[in-house]
Amino acid sequence: MSTIVEKLRQYSKPGYYDKFDYHWTMTIDLDRCTGCEACVVACQAENNLPIVGEERFAENREIKWIRIERYWEGEYPDIKMGFIPMLCQQCDDAPCETACPVYATYHNQDGLNTQIYNRCIGTRTCAVYCPYEVRYFNWFTYTWDEPLEQQLNPDVTVREKGVMEKCTFCIQRIRIAKDNAKDDNRRRVRDGEVVPACVQSCPTEALVFGNSNDPEAKVSKMMKSPRGYKVLEELHTTPSIVYLTKVQS
Amino acid sequence: MSISVLDALRPAKKPALLGLVVVVGLFVGAWVHGKYFSDRSPIQPIEFSHRIHATDNEIPCQHCHIYADRTPVAGVPSVSKCMGCHNSVPSVRESPEILKLATYWENREPIPWIKVYDVPDYVHFTHKRHIKAGLACQECHGPVETMDRITRVASMRMPWCVDCHTERNVEHGRDCWTCHK
Amino acid sequence: MAAIAGPAINKMSKISRRDLLQFIGAGGVGVAGGILYGEGVQRNVEFLIPQVVPPEDYSPGVATWYNTVCNQCSAGCGISVRIREGKAKKIEGNPVHPVSQGRLCARGQAGLNVLYNPDRIRTPLQNAAQRGSGNYAEISWDEALTTLGSRIGRLKIEGKAGRVRLLTGRTRGHLDELFAQFMGLLGSEHYQQYDFTYPAAIRAANRISFGVDQLPYYDIKHADFLLSFGADYLGTWLSPVHHSLAYGHLRQGRQGRRGKTVQIEPRMSLSGAAADEWIAARPGTEGLLALGIAHALVNAGNYLGSDRDEWSIALEAYSPSTVSAETDVSEESIVRLATEFSAPGTSLAIAGGATAAGTNAVASVVAVNALNYLAGNLGQRGGVIFNSDPAFSATAGSRQAGLRGMLDLVEAMEAGDVEVLLVHDTNPVYALPENVRFRRAMENVPLIVALSSFHDETTAMADFILPTNTYLESWGDDVPDPGVGFPVASISQPVVAKLYDTLAVGDIILLLARRIGGELPIRLHWATMEEFIKERWREEYELRSAAGEDQDFEAFWRASLEAGVWGQPGAATGDESVPSSSSMIASITDPVSKFAGSESDYPFVLHPYLTATFTDGRGANLPWLQELPDPMTSVVYGSWAELNPVTADELGIREGDILEVESPAGSIRVPALIFPAIRPGVIAIPIGQGHSAYGRYASDRGVNPIHIVATQVDDQSGDLAWAATRVRIKRTGERLRIIKTDGVTRTLGRQILGPKNDHA
């Protein structure tokens, strides 16, 4: 028990993850984001998200690993709409990780907040602890109308009833890139070699993904923008997603 | 001593013995199943012998399992590949098992081999990385070249994987997301 | 155990026959139980199925990517499709394609739902009962083609081929040529296209303004100031993915230079949400507003062309004060917009959406073109760049029927002048106002043949349905429209083997030509569409390679297939346009749209709008798009009518109250949604839902606002003025819960959008 506590303390020391090869990070430029939701469909296609049906939506049981939140500001005619893509923030001090009784979610050496489906027993505690509301529970085993199941991505598990799921930063794509790097005898993957589905699809190039342990990576440069901020930073969750605020004219 | 135990059991002697026989039978049944009927060594649609191919004829593994060092999946040889060789091996052309193969080929049907080594769908496993790390096929699959019918030698369960990763000190080899997808 | 069992058995040597049998039975039960247990705990038998003959480029567990062309809207984005074990897994933008540049919108990515849609038509069908009943019997291709071939062949012999009509959607590339040749050889001049989203007014206006019959390249990427009149360039207008790329660059792609965008529209669209300034001018007066800005621009001495005086006179009546009263946009705003538009740096004005769908659509777009002309944006980087003639002799758009053409077709059908109607890739029963009575007119046509992958409202009237391959299973080619400023052509190729007993539409035409006989099979001699496309590309290649290219054609063809696109970046852009002040001035005399219905009877303006997901209703049968929350409202699975909060308050309407929305042309019932960014007096209803026969995901869901649009024609383009209808609303007293994913839509002091951003 004490070793676990010790380990957890170690993890939450600032800079703990700097010594590893990777710290996967995303920046989202809200000045580019138009709320078009291309990322939402990209994620659905890549990660085998279920088609849940109208009734499930009515019960707020839809599953979208990335969603666009919308916030109005002002009243007609001086009204503005602010879009913000919301997905798992891959927090370095993730509240969800402290909650899981079976370590189905923990932080790995790449700075990723993991979710291991076959370990999850479905207590849903993590979802309660998450201030970003980006964890989704499978209340049902979903099926696909034949032949839609032919589209399912073989690199991603199809989840069943009773497990929690959430954004993985497209771990399957990270894995393929690392595999290629090993084949080429490279220690690290190249900047831009890993592109999660949402980042890949973004028509305005608002999303940038990369390894922030590499100071030359594009994402490291984007993070330094004076417009950068983290959502609900005051909760000290230390998210791995840096948003760049929209420029007000 | 044995008599005293039996005496103690006397009132329930016959039912107890009957129960005992059932329990022993259960173990025997499970063993028989494991030995002869299980997925450990299932009877395949063609009585293919790795011994004849790999030992007697000295064909290397990756001559047939061509994808093993290149992709996640080792691959079973296509029917055309089997026929490619067997067309030029007249000595066994009339053997009943080869005739089965020829029938599949003539009907352009794949051979429904039964999978012996299988991991669940939530596991990511890649042959390529293991081969490139220098592992011999036999380290996981056993002495396949001596088997007439293929028999699974490992449990293929997570402790078995993790033990090996720990022993060999695989980098991040115990991170869940190395193998779970 | 043995210690017990051993002596026990010794002791029991005098075992009775009955006991023996009992023990044997018990043993048997035990062994059987053990075997059953073994069966129970073992995994299901899985099989290793080898290939019979392995394909060349196949590796198990490794994805291959094939390039082709997206067909989900008419932008013509290049796409790459990820294939694993022969199945399509994901669609992404083709990185080397100049339109999409590796990116793709939601709709394009949902193309997999088209391919693997459970409601696809899988075999040829023949109507087995009364028309429209949906009762079809399966027939063979041979049967279908023989019947149709002989029917059409007889008409041809009798010299009545003109009674055969072909109606398609927006068909481009060599498929369009094949259709034209087929109809030409048949002897019918009635090959038309109908696409609700076709920018007829923009093309007509460009003809008038610049003397070019094409869509130019609007260089949003390099603009410093973008003024959009109703054009939802980020969602639905012309080429949304390309414009989104450009928008990203306009905002943050240039060091120290951030472009500004202004959106003029009565209901905030995606582009309006992105804009720095959103101006809800009075509906139908957007063209007038453009003229007011032009007036201020010329008046301020910012136009120095030789025809300055002509413009001063022409714009005299449109002083900012006059225009301000009509448009409900303040005078200062008009003058300021004029100043910003003519300020140093690049500026660009575009028009679309409702601005290009009034009774004065062309006049409005010409007024916007005039702005570009007066600010010197033509042919400039960051302005309007004219495309060269489309590559590969592709025809573009001249066959669009518009409302006028469709009314003619209806008249012909009603008069019994149409004997055979071939329909492909268009759904006029859905995408025309009910008043046009297209469906009723179809009843007069003796033989209707639909070439379609899906049942829809139009194919429901067909006698024969010939199932087509989806675009992911077909050969074809395409020239993007609008172009990208240099010659480009894309090839589409099948990325998976076809799923069902379907045929590519080009192959159906070639087969039909053979059944009809005569000179058709001789002239249309290609065995397949693939052969036809390849031959045309060879001809084109030989024409161009005279300039000294040293590749042979096969290498060129392979390279083009691999890239999915052929282009000549840097090649001279376009024929010079000839802007004509006089024709522009002559066309702007009618700057205000006329609405059907009087303001006293119908106090609200109906604002139907295209959504980025369903466009003209085509996307509604794709489950991923039905489950994609609407970007502005987060609603899924349904229709709604948007009202300004103040209007709603006055009328006592709450969210979910079912309203009866009645126009002079008809009425629909739809739940109300309070939407803060819509002009009071306007009711906005999204287009796309309200299908009656479009598969399990779309049917019997929501309403179709096109059906209650009054049939008014924009005279100069001949197209439907779909944004020029007034309506009245009535509460029915019934309620329906609108399903949406949003919770609280205010930040409530939380710094969610960033520390500097929060004023709520």
Cα separation, C243 vs A137, in Å, equals 37
Domain for residue B42, yes or no? Answer: no
Domain ranges for chain C: 64-115, 125-196+392-567, 217-385, 604-735
Q: What does the CA dihedral B49, C54, B125, C80 come to, rounded to 10 degrees?
A: 180
Cα separation, C717 vs C361, in Å, equals 8
The CATH class, in words, for A33-206 is: alpha beta
In this structure, what token pair is assigned to residue C212? 């070019």
CATH topology of domain C604-735: Barwin-like endoglucanases (2.40.40)
Does residue B29 share a domain with residue B60?
A: no
User: What would the pLDDT profile of C577-615 be if each residue is shown by its tens digit?
Assistant: 788 889 999 988 877 999 999 999 999 999 999 999 999
C-alpha distances in Å from residue A133, one per residue of C46, C630, C743: 39, 20, 12
Cα separation, B111 vs B80, in Å, equals 11
At C668, which helix (H) or strand (E)? strand C666-674
Q: Which residues contact C541 (CB under 8 A, 6 or more apart)?
A: C553, C556, C557
Place of tokens 């599953």: A63
Does residue B13 share a domain with residue B54?
A: no
Least CA distance to A106: which residue of chain B? Answer: B176
Q: How far from each other are the two terminal CA atoms of chain B, in whole angstroms?
A: 59
The 3-state secondary structure of C158-185 reads: CCCHHHEEEEECCCCHHHHHHHHHHHHH
Q: Which residues contact A56 (CB under 8 A, 6 or more apart)?
A: A62, A139, A140
CATH architecture of C125-196+392-567: 3-Layer(aba) Sandwich (3.40)
At C585, which helix (H) or strand (E)? helix C581-587
Does residue B118 share a domain with residue B96?
A: yes
Does residue B107 share a domain with residue B76?
A: yes
Cα separation, C59 vs C266, in Å, equals 54
User: What would the pLDDT profile of C347-384 be if each residue is shown by its tens digit?
Assistant: 999 999 999 999 999 999 999 999 999 999 998 999 99
Query: Does C664 sit behind a cis peptide bond, omega within 30 degrees of 0 on the bond before it?
Result: no
pLDDT at C43: 66
CA A182, A184, A189, A195 dihedral sign is negative
Is the distance from CB of C100 to CB of C93 less than 8 angstroms? Answer: yes
Least confident span in A153-162, A180-189, C584-593, C694-703: C584-593
Residue range C622-643: average pLDDT?
96
For an interface test with C, which of A79, A86, A183, A204 has the most C Cβ atoms less than 10 Å from its Cβ? A204
Does residue B115 share a domain with residue B63?
A: yes
Local structure of residue B53 (DSSP, 8 states): I
pLDDT band at C60 (very low <50, low <70, confident <90, very high): confident
Q: What is the ipTM of this complex?
A: 0.95
Cα separation, C633 vs A80, in Å, equals 14
Q: Map residue C202 onto helix, strand or coil.
A: helix
Domain containing B25 equals: 2-37
Helices (H), C375-447: 402-414, 428-431, 438-442
Q: How far from each other are the two terminal CA atoms of chain C, in whole angstroms?
A: 79
At C488, which helix (H) or strand (E)? strand C488-492
Residue range C688-713: average pLDDT?
96
Domain for residue B161, yes or no? Answer: yes
At B129, which helix (H) or strand (E)? helix B127-132
pLDDT at C504: 97
Q: Map residue C556 onto helix, strand or coil.
A: helix
Place domain C64-115 in its CATH homologous superfamily.
Answer: ADC-like domains (2.20.25.90)
Domain for residue B43, yes or no? Answer: no
Helices (H), C227-285: 240-252, 270-274
Q: Which of A116, A156, A179 sits opposite B176 (nearest CB)?
A: A116
Q: Does C458 score more than 70 pLDDT? A: yes
Is the distance from CB of A120 to CB of A163 less than 8 angstroms? Answer: yes
Q: Are strands C604-609 and C725-735 parallel, antiparallel or unpaired?
A: antiparallel
Q: Does A150 score more than 70 pLDDT? A: yes
Residue range B17-31: average pLDDT?
87
CA B166-B170-B176 angle, to 5 degrees, is 80
CA C337, C338, C339, C343 dihedral sign is positive
Q: Which of A158, A175, A182 sits opposite B124 (nearest CB)?
A: A175
pLDDT band at A225 (very low <50, low <70, confident <90, very high): very high
Domain for residue B45, yes or no? Answer: no
Q: Which residues of C touch B (CB under 8 A)?
A: 1, 3-8, 11-12, 19, 22-23, 26-39, 42-43, 45-54, 59-62
CATH number of C217-385: 3.40.228.10
Least CA distance to B172: which residue of chain A? Answer: A109
pLDDT at C253: 94
Does residue B17 share a domain with residue B80?
A: no
Closest residue by Cα to residue C468 from C455, C482, C451:
C451
Cα separation, C95 vs C104, in Å, equals 10
Is the distance from CB of C485 to CB of C56 less than 8 angstroms? Answer: no
Does residue B67 share a domain with residue B6?
A: no
| Amino acid in position C339 | T
C61/B72 Cβ within 8 A: yes
User: What would the pLDDT profile of B60-91 be if each residue is shown by its tens digit?
Assistant: 999 999 999 999 999 899 999 999 999 888 88
For an interface test with B, which of A24, A113, A171 has the most B Cβ atoms less than 10 Å from its Cβ? A171
Q: Which long-range contacts (CB under 8 A, 24 or more apart) does C414-418 make?
A: C414/C441, C414/C444, C416/C444, C417/C163, C418/C163, C418/C165, C418/C444, C418/C445
In this structure, what token pair is assigned to residue C736? 């329906």
User: What would the pLDDT profile of C416-441 be if each residue is shown by its tens digit?
Assistant: 999 999 999 999 999 999 999 999 99
Is the distance from CB of C286 to CB of C267 less than 8 angstroms? Answer: no
How far away is chain A from the Cα of B121, in angstroms, using its nearest Cα? 6
Q: Give me chain B's average pLDDT, please.
A: 88
Local structure of residue C375 (DSSP, 8 states): T
* DSSP state string for A92-141: TT-HHHHH-TT-SS-B-TTS-B---TTT-----HHHHH-TT---EE--S-
Local structure of residue A245 (DSSP, 8 states): P
In this structure, what token pair is assigned to residue C681? 């007096």
